[in-house]
Amino acid sequence: MKRTLLAASLAVAFGVVPAAFAQTRSTPDTSNVVAPGATDGNDAAGTGATRNQPGKVKQLGAVDVSAALDQSRNSLSPDTGSSQYVIDQKAIQQLPLGDSTPLNQVILQAPGVVQDSYGGVHVRGDHANLQYRINGVIIPESISGFGQTLDARTIQSVKLLDGALPAQYGLRTAAVVDIDTKSGHDLGNGGSVGITGGSYGTLNPNASLWGSSDRWSWFVTANYMENDAGIENPTPSRTPIHDHTNQVKGFGDISYLIDDNTRISFMFGATNNRFEIPNNPDQTPQFGYLDVTNFNSADLDERQQEKTRFGVLSLQGKWGKTDYQVSLGQRYSSVGFEPDEIGDLMFNGVASTINRNNRAGTLQADFSTPVGESHTLRYGIYGEFERGNISNSSLVFPANPDGSQASTTPINISDSTRLLARTYSAYLQDEWSIGDKWTVNYGLRGDRYELFRTESQLSPRLGVVYQATDSTTVHAGYSRYFTPPATEVIDDSNIERFAGTTNQLPSGGNNLPLSERSDYYDLGVQQQVGSTLTLGLDAYYRQVRRLQDEGQFGAALIYSNFNYDYGRIRGLEFTANYDNGPVTAYFNASFNRAMGKRVITGQYNFSPEELAYIYDNWIHLDHDQKLTASGGMTYAFNESTRAGADFLFGSGLRKDGDGVPNGASLPYYFQLNLNVGHDFVVGSLGKVKTQLAVINVFDRTYELRDGTGVGVGAPQFGPRRGVYLNLQKDFSF
């Protein structure tokens, strides 16, 4: 870490905070707000999720109105029959890196979530296919990459919903990452500044500001992060070569209470992430370039930049008995890959400069109306309009008929594509409370996707919750899903242009992906043991047609999608949560099997031998991991001092074996992290929070990928041991 940058960041974090900010004042009184309803029976073992129902307000001050509207908004989103796992702000702060934890690593603490390279995660055997919602609003996914768009510092709580989802949830259905953000009305007037620093040159200063004034409320946060381990190391060494990253992230949420039943808000975010692509030394060049015959692979200079911006304007409130939220949003995303022209040509036979951008405009409207005493009708629409642009400029060598290099002088091939996609969705569902023990949610969803072809589907949904006893809850569900391809990763390049070159693709075939269609079944039980322990068990099965998958088929770290004709995924999850005084602990374990058969789109990325085998045989998906576990424990010695540990375990993702695509597993891995935190009182600054973390305390070397398998571009290793210190100062004014 550069000392001048560290000193400057510390000065920003602590030196320039006005002394007035250190004077703590009381926050607004929220005691008049009726607390949310009791814990819903079908909550999976999490950190105390609650089902919020609209409550009565004794005094309609700005804080009270905001809380009531939050409850009204929450009532728009049912979860009957699905599985859910909630991680609140307290649980995030107990992680080794606290609020500095990337969002993907926060989600890894939930059951059934498998880590992959480039910060990717897989939920219940699916590749990506996650839907992100912030305060109930869908944020369209950004172009595939390895930068994290959202920051954990924005989160009040995050809920992972999966299984048989109600009709409100569609399109991206592997899981819904539902984030409730922090609010100025809840936090009072103040802010926070801090810094995290440590191994691999890590420097991560951050600043947040929140507050309210009468009917206005705001929360904004921003942070800068740089280190020398931005992407997983392709070698087992402690120090990656050429792996520096600079990342800037910002988020804001500003709201205004129009009256006691109506609120308008504007939510926005932006990221700008730059990465060096790490190098794998001692590789042998496969091609000659002019008169150059040798190139040190440790000197390659490939880079990638990712940008995302989004903004959402929402009108939310209550009209008579009907709760509603109507939102207009836009998201822009771009990714650019810059090759090392000479090096990439000599090692890969192609050096491609790739630029992709995608702009999505959205309209979302959700409504909830009680009908009598036992029914709640929910209905809504969603529309998305996307424009995508792809520009590829590739240097390649001419090739002989047998594929060998015919000339050492490269030629340039350019290709560009414009995409225009439209998505329309609507749903209608009824939540029916039958006595004190049964709740049934049934509904119908319609989706339509237009790009190169038009595809649509009507999808029935059914979820049931049975409160067997005061401590035992059973849930079951069935959902029909329709999943369009991710528009931002569709590549409609003309593959014939590369015929007769060193980038000639191994096969022909259709390169336009199809929408996935599946039937999802889910059954689970939750058992409360006393007042401190919650246990959960959940089983699921998914039968799929046109199963979607993605892979990295070139040198650029950008994914392309393809379809298997058939897919079948099944699994079992166990969860346990313990909370008793100073001790909190959790444990998750899952079994999963994800298989596919017969590649029907994107065949040009596969060799003829692979296609022939997969045509007649089921194979494991490359992201299939048989056993996965996570857990952690925190002990609070007093209000100021705490210590904790957490771990990740995996039986290993897939690799090629015995001539079978994805036919073997990588070795299992186990990563243990430790942390200790203490709150110091530092003169006029007052309380300063500190947390020391050790990641991979045993410095175990393990591979996430070995460079083989369907759509796997290069080896990637998990993080080596790192030590990090976080300092954080909250203030009020």
User: Can you give the pLDDT at residue 190?
Assistant: 93
Phi, psi of 174 (to 5 degrees): -60, -40
CA distances from 139 to 74, 312, 364 (A): 17, 9, 10
What is the average per-residue pLDDT within 495-513? 77
Least confident of 173-182, 210-219, 504-513, 602-611: 504-513
User: Can you give the pLDDT at residue 684?
Assistant: 83
Euclidean distance between CA atoms 239 and 241, whole angstroms? 7
Kind and range of the H or E run holding 89 = helix 89-93
Instruction: Answer whether 312's CB lies under 8 Å from 329's CB.
Output: yes
Give me the DSSP letters along 666-717.
PPPEEEEEEEEEEEEEEGGGEEEEEEEEEESTT----EEEES-STT--SEEE
Euclidean distance between CA atoms 224 and 272, whole angstroms? 10
What is the average per-residue pLDDT within 79-86? 77
Euclidean distance between CA atoms 513 and 564, whole angstroms? 10
Give me the DSSP letters along 453-470.
SEEEEEEEEEEEEEE-SS
pLDDT at 63 over 70: no
Residue bearing the bigger pLDDT, 50 or 326: 326
Establish if 613 belongs to a structural domain: yes
CA distances from 377 to 163, 248, 370, 443 (A): 22, 42, 6, 10
pLDDT band at 457 (very low <50, low <70, confident <90, very high): very high
Give me the DSSP letters along 468-487.
-SSSEEEEEEEEEEEE---G
Tokens at 569, concatenated: 């995924």
Instruction: Answer whether 665's CB lies under 8 Å from 687's CB.
Output: no
Q: What's 433's domain CATH number?
A: 2.40.170.20
Euclidean distance between CA atoms 392 and 533, whole angstroms? 55
What is the average per-residue pLDDT within 444-471? 94
Q: How far is CA 160 from the centre of its chain?
A: 10
Residue bearing the bigger pLDDT, 465 or 2: 465
Chain segment 603-660, per-residue pLDDT in tens: 887 888 899 999 999 999 999 999 999 999 999 999 999 999 999 999 999 999 888 9
Q: Nearest CA to 43 among 83, 76, 87, 89? A: 83
What is the average per-residue pLDDT within 708-723? 88
What is the average per-residue pLDDT within 352-358? 90
Tokens at 395, concatenated: 């240097």
What is the average per-residue pLDDT within 707-730? 90
Euclidean distance between CA atoms 149 and 141, whole angstroms? 9
pLDDT at 186 over 50: yes
Establish if 280 belongs to a structural domain: no
User: Can you give the pLDDT at residue 44?
Assistant: 38
Instruction: Give the single-character DSSP code of 514.
Output: -
Q: To the nearest whole number, what is the mean pLDDT of the chain?
A: 85
pTM of the model: 0.85
Instruction: Answer whether 235's CB lies under 8 Å from 717's CB.
Output: yes
pLDDT band at 29 (very low <50, low <70, confident <90, very high): very low
Q: Is 658 helix (H, G, I), strand (E, B) or coil?
A: coil
Establish if 311 belongs to a structural domain: no
Residue bearing the bigger pLDDT, 585 or 5: 585
User: Can you give the pLDDT at residue 659?
Assistant: 86
Contacts of 100 (CB under 8 A, 6+ apart): 152, 196, 204, 206, 724, 726
User: Can you give the pLDDT at residue 387?
Assistant: 92
Chain segment 212-270, per-residue pLDDT in tens: 988 899 999 999 999 999 999 999 999 999 999 999 999 999 999 998 889 999 999 99
Q: Is 665 helix (H, G, I), strand (E, B) or coil?
A: strand
What is the average per-residue pLDDT within 519-547? 94
Where are the alpha helices (H) located in 568-671, listed in sequence order?
608-616
Establish if 555 belongs to a structural domain: yes
Give the position of tokens 């058939």.
566
User: Can you give the pLDDT at residue 487?
Assistant: 78
User: Can you give the pLDDT at residue 89?
Assistant: 86
User: Can you give the pLDDT at residue 617?
Assistant: 95
3-class SS letters over 516-546: EEEEEEEEEEEEEECCCEEEEEEEEEEEEEE
Q: What total of structural domains would you count in the chain?
A: 1
Residue type at position 333? S
Give me the DSSP letters along 136-174.
TEEEPPPPSSS---S-GGGEEEEEEEESS--TT--SS-S
pLDDT band at 695 (very low <50, low <70, confident <90, very high): very high
Establish if 616 belongs to a structural domain: yes
Instruction: Answer whether 393's CB lies under 8 Å from 410's CB.
Output: no
What is the average per-residue pLDDT within 390-414? 90
User: Can you give the pLDDT at residue 17?
Assistant: 34
**Cα 721–Cα 727–Cα 729 angle in degrees, nearest 5:** 160
Query: Domain residues for 571?
Result: 3-250+421-732
Euclidean distance between CA atoms 575 and 537, whole angstroms? 7
Establish if 364 belongs to a structural domain: no
Q: How many CB atoms lie within 10 A of CB 129?
A: 21
